[in-house]
Chains A and B, each alone.
Chain A
Amino acid sequence: MSLLDIKDLRVTVDDHEILKGLNLQLKPGEVHSIMGPNGSGKSTLAQVLARRETFTVTGGQVQFNGKDLLAMKPEEAACEGVFLAFQYPVEIPGIGNAYFLRSALNAIRKYRGQDEMDAMDFLPMLREKMKLLEMDEKYLNRSVNEGFSGGEKKRNEILQMAMLEPKLAILDETDSGLDIDALRIVAAGVNAMRSPDRAILVVTHYQRLLHYIVPDRVHVLVDGRIERSGGPELALQLEETGYAAIEAAARGASRG
Chain B
Amino acid sequence: MATATQAIENYAESFRGFEQSAASHDLLWLRQLRQSGFARFGETGFPTTRDEDWRFTSLAAIAQIPFRLARNGHGPLSRNQIDCFRIPGVACQLVFVDGRFSPELSSSGQLPEGVEVASLAAQIARDPGAIEPHLGRHLDLQRDPFCALNTAFLEDGAYVRIRKGVVLGEPIHLLFVSAAHDAPTVCHPRNLIVAEENSQATILEEYVSTGSGATLCNTATELVAGDHAVVSHYMIEREHNQACNISTLRIQQGRSADVSSHSVLAGGALVRNNVHPVLAGEGGECLINGLFIGGGRQHLDNYMLVEHARPHCASRQFYNGILGGHAHGVFHGRIIVHKDAQKTDARQTNRNLLLSDTAQIDTKPQLEIYADDVKCTHGATIGQIDEEALFYLRSRGVDLASARRLLLLAFAGECLDRMKPGPVRVHIEKLIHDSLAQIAHVSHDVPLAPQEAALGEPR
Cβ contact within 8 Å between A104 and B398: yes
Cβ contact within 8 Å between A108 and B392: no
Cβ contact within 8 Å between A94 and B391: no
Closest to A79 in B: B397
Q: A73-B400, A103-B402, A107-B402 are known contacts. Are A92 and B407 too (CB-CB below 8 A)?
A: yes
Cβ contact within 8 Å between A75 and B399: yes
> Of B395, B396, B400, B413, which is within 8 A of A94 by CB?
B413
> Of B393, B394, B397, B406, which is within 8 A of A164 by CB?
B397
> Of A75, A83, A90, which is within 8 A of B400 by CB?
A75
Contacts of A54 in B (CB 8 A): 387
- Contact indicator per residue, chain A 58-97, by CB within 8 Å of chain B (1) or not (0): 0000000000000001110111000110100110111100
B56 CB to nearest chain A CB (Å): 28
Contacts of B398 in A (CB 8 A): 75, 103-104, 107
Cβ contact within 8 Å between B406 and A95: yes
A157 CB to nearest chain B CB (Å): 10
Cβ contact within 8 Å between B396 and A73: no
Question: Is A174 in the interface zone, CB < 8 Å from B?
Answer: no
> Of A74, A103, A111, which is within 8 A of B395 by CB?
A74
- Contact indicator per residue, chain A 84-125, by CB within 8 Å of chain B (1) or not (0): 101001101111000011011101100100000000000000
Question: Is B61 in the interface zone, CB < 8 Å from A?
Answer: no
Contacts of A143 in B (CB 8 A): 410
Contacts of B389 in A (CB 8 A): 90, 92
Question: Is A160 in the interface zone, CB < 8 Å from B?
Answer: yes
Cα A234 to Cα B391 in complex, Å, equals 34
For A, the interface residue count at a CB cutoff of 8 angstroms equals: 32
Q: Which B residues, 386 to 435, have Cβ-Cβ distances below 8 Å to chain A?
A: 386-389, 391-400, 402-403, 406-407, 409-411, 413-414
Contacts of B388 in A (CB 8 A): 90
Cα A84 to Cα B18 in complex, Å, equals 69
Cβ contact within 8 Å between B397 and A108: yes
Cα A159 to Cα B45 in complex, Å, equals 63
Question: Is A19 in the interface zone, CB < 8 Å from B?
Answer: no
Closest to A103 in B: B398
Cβ contact within 8 Å between B392 and A89: yes
A62 CB to nearest chain B CB (Å): 16
Cα A162 to Cα B399 in complex, Å, equals 20
Q: A92-B410, A94-B410, A94-B414 are known contacts. Are A75 and B397 too (CB-CB below 8 A)?
A: yes
Cα A157 to Cα B387 in complex, Å, equals 19
Question: Is A50 in the interface zone, CB < 8 Å from B?
Answer: yes
Question: Is A52 in the interface zone, CB < 8 Å from B?
Answer: yes
B230 CB to nearest chain A CB (Å): 27
Closest to A77 in B: B395
Cβ contact within 8 Å between A104 and B396: yes
B383 CB to nearest chain A CB (Å): 13
Contacts of A83 in B (CB 8 A): 395
Q: A103-B402, A103-B406, A107-B402 are known contacts. Are A92 and B392 too (CB-CB below 8 A)?
A: yes
- Interface CB pairs A-B, < 8 A, 24: A50-B391, A52-B391, A73-B394, A73-B400, A75-B397, A75-B399, A78-B394, A79-B397, A86-B395, A89-B392, A90-B389, A90-B392, A92-B389, A94-B409, A94-B414, A103-B406, A104-B393, A104-B396, A104-B397, A104-B398, A105-B397, A107-B397, A160-B396, A164-B397
Q: Which residues of B contact A (CB under 8 A)?
A: 386-389, 391-400, 402-403, 406-407, 409-411, 413-414
Q: List 3 tightest A-B contacts by C-beta distance, closest first.
A: A94-B410, A104-B396, A74-B394
Known: A78-B397, A92-B410, A94-B413. 14 other contacts (CB 8 A): A52-B391, A52-B395, A73-B400, A75-B398, A75-B399, A78-B395, A83-B395, A92-B392, A92-B407, A94-B414, A100-B393, A100-B406, A103-B398, A107-B396
